[in-house]
Amino acid sequence: KEALKRASRALNELTGYNHIELVKHKVHEQAQAFEATRDSVQLAKRSYETAIETRSSTQREINELLQRKHLWTGDDVTRFTELYRLEHEHSRAEINTKELYRQAEKQMDREYMALARSIMERYHEEQLWSDKIRSVSTYGTWALMVVNLLLFVAVQTVFEPRKRKRLTDQFEELLVAKVDEEEAKIMSVFDK
């Protein structure tokens, strides 16, 4: 089993398949990086949407207070001041989360492009490897055809004539022996 693994590794090394394995691994890592970046984009988007909703809620409450400004009490003035301060903080938070979301999208685009490049590289390398194997296979087929042709010629020009000569020699010996035997029989009949 270990010898088979070593032979497989040697064949992969010889044919250049190890490089394809490395490229496959790179594609896998790039796909994982893209997935992680896509998840971070989703988180950034949710944070941005939450920041927008929070700021909108604060602005609605401020507008409600402003609509009844003539009826304000001391608590309303305090609440308005607090809401105005919160609205300013929420505005900054919205700007920050928007920037984080934009950066996450840019990073996702970069990861996607890197993934596409690595997939194209893998495809290209596999095509090159396949072409190399195909050409080696073609040359191997031609080599086998030449060997078969040489064997055929050798059999027809060397081995078959020897075989025929041996058969004819044996036949001739048998024929001479039979003729001698028949002559001996005939002579023995005449001698009697």
Is a pLDDT exceeding 80 seen at residue 191?
A: no
Residue-level pLDDT at 192: 66
Write out pLDDT tens, residues 107-162: 999 999 999 999 999 999 999 989 888 888 898 899 999 999 999 999 999 999 99
SS3 of residue 17 by DSSP: helix
Is a pLDDT exceeding 90 seen at residue 31?
A: yes
CB 44 within 8 A of CB 97: yes
Distances (CA, A) of 56 to 45, 51, 59, 99, 101: 16, 8, 5, 18, 18
CB 62 within 8 A of CB 86: no
Which domains, and CATH codes, for the chain? 2-139 (1.10.287)
Q: How many Å apart are CA 147 and CA 155, to the nearest integer?
A: 12
Q: How far is CA 91 from the centre of its chain?
A: 47
Residue-level pLDDT at 189: 83
Predicted model pTM = 0.65
Higher pLDDT, 134 or 95: 95
